[in-house]
């Protein structure tokens, strides 16, 4: 029995007025639908008056849902702009002018990567490269770029546009003569549409202020400073600046300024303590990974500016070198091997001090240190790993007790 071949349904014919200047939008849409390319959705009222049958179908599905499925508006592009701004840390113009011509893919060491190579207009065309591994994740930059291009492909093809900008959209203003246009206006050197929709997008995320691309770049600069402390060149490279002197004053958030002020205050307090103790407490002698607030190496201090030691002043960094074992605010360093090695050094200094001062002075000043070490701190460290590590450690000598 021969197979039954069902006739293909005849596609609906929608009215069009090719070449009509006064009816350009709908006439254009009619041409593309005749070619089975539903690229541009006409205005709601215009569609309702010209094709009620199609309007009912679109209205039933939801006009905005159908329009979003077919092509983006400027508002629809806003989340993608924010996402790529956070990922790339480009400035506003560089980001919004991203196009197919400065995005490519390459494979390095067996890993496919997407590479952004835009030129920064304000830096005399300086290229700002960004490279990311290509994965199947939804938030991967390659996935986002591919989606944006695919989202506007039909509209681009139908409009026969030359724009390569990945942030292209169909204007809501049907009086515009542009079927599809880039989000960035090269004449105005800005993006009125993005500026209009950005505050509303931030509000939907619960932000109490409009977070622009400049704030995002400043946050990226802060992160670079945390990853590469003391390396202004790394921040300069991230921001695409020719000179790091541009990056430092212009892209420092309030939080970064507070951190810098706090670090400066800490350095000043440490230097003042170093001078006051005649070099006995020198933070530079300890590694950067060590907690250096305590007056005695091998110990940690819970509140170095409020020492209960009688000789110390409130609000001033504690300078009671050697007396940490007797202080209620102390605790041993988290590295037990290091703490044990330093405690044994301090114990030797406490014993040696017997020959430097009289018996009564030693008993009043240094015997409590020795007793605290022998009765509290040394017995608390029983780990075999800590004992073995302390034996192998080669540490600098501690200054004599005063």
pLDDT of residue 302: 93
Residue 318 region, left (φ>0) first, then alpha (ψ -120 to 50), else beta?
beta
> Do 216 and 81 meet the contact criterion of CB atoms below 8 Å apart?
no
Please indicate whether residue 37 or residue 281 has the higher confidence score (pLDDT).
281
How does pLDDT run across 120-165, given as a tens digit for each residue?
Answer: 766 566 788 888 999 999 999 999 999 999 998 888 887 777 778 8
- C-alpha distances in angstroms, 203 versus 208, 209, 211? 7, 7, 10
In 3D space, the residue among 171, 129, 169, 176 whose CA is nearest the CA of residue 152 turns out to be: 169
pLDDT of residue 5: 42
SS3 69: helix
Least confident of 2-16, 174-188, 207-221, 247-261: 2-16
Q: How far apart are CA 255 and CA 238, in angstroms?
A: 19
Across the chain, what does the average pLDDT equal? 81
pLDDT of residue 14: 31
> Do 305 and 316 meet the contact criterion of CB atoms below 8 Å apart?
yes
pLDDT of residue 96: 92
10 pLDDT higher than 50:
no
Q: How far apart are CA 386 and CA 390, in angstroms?
A: 6
SS3 222: helix
How does pLDDT run across 86-126, given as a tens digit for each residue?
Answer: 988 888 898 999 988 899 999 988 999 999 998 876 656 67
35 pLDDT higher than 50:
no
Q: What is the mean pLDDT of residues 173-183?
A: 70
């Amino acid at each position: 029995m021969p197979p039954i071949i069902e006739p293909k349904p005849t596609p609906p014919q929608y009215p069009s007025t090719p070449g009509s200047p006064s009816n350009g939008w709908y006439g254009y849409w009619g041409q593309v639908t005749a070619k089975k390319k539903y690229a541009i959705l006409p205005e709601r009222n215009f569609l309702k008056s010209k094709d009620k049958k199609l309007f009912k179908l679109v209205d039933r599905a939801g006009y905005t849902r159908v329009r979003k499925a077919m092509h983006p508006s400027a508002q629809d592009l806003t989340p993608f702009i924010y996402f790529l701004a956070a990922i790339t840390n480009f400035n506003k113009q560089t980001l919004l002018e991203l196009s197919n011509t400065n995005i490519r893919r390459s494979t390095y060491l067996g890993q496919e990567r997407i590479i952004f190579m835009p030129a920064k207009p304000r830096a005399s065309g300086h290229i700002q490269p960004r490279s990311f591994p290509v994965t199947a994740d939804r938030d991967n930059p390659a996935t986002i770029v591919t989606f944006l291009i695919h989202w506007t492909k039909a509209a681009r093809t139908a409009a026969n546009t030359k724009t390569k900008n990945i942030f292209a959209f169909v204007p809501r203003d049907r009086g515009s003569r542009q079927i599809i246009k880039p989000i960035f206006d090269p004449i105005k050197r800005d993006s009125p549409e993005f500026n209009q929709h950005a505050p509303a997008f931030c509000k939907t995320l619960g932000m109490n202020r409009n977070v622009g691309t400049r704030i995002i770049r400043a946050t990226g600069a802060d992160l670079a400073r945390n990853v590469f402390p003391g390396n202004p060149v790394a921040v300069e490279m991230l921001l695409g600046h020719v000179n790091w002197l541009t990056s430092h004053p212009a892209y420092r958030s309030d939080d970064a300024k507070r951190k810098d002020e706090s670090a400066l205050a800490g350095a000043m307090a440490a230097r003042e303590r170093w001078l006051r103790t005649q070099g006995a407490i020198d933070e530079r002698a300890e590694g950067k990974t060590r907690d250096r607030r305590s007056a005695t190496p091998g110990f940690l201090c819970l509140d170095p500016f409020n020492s209960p030691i009688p000789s110390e002043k409130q609000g001033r960094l504690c300078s009671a070198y050697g007396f940490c074992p007797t202080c209620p605010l102390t605790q041993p360093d988290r590295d037990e091997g290091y703490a044990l090695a330093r405690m044994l050094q301090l114990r030797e200094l406490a014993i040696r001090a017997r020959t430097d001062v009289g018996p009564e002075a030693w008993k009043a000043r240094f015997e409590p240190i020795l007793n605290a070490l022998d009765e509290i701190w040394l017995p608390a460290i029983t780990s075999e790993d800590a004992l073995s590590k302390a034996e192998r450690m080669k540490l600098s000598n501690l200054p004599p007790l005063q």
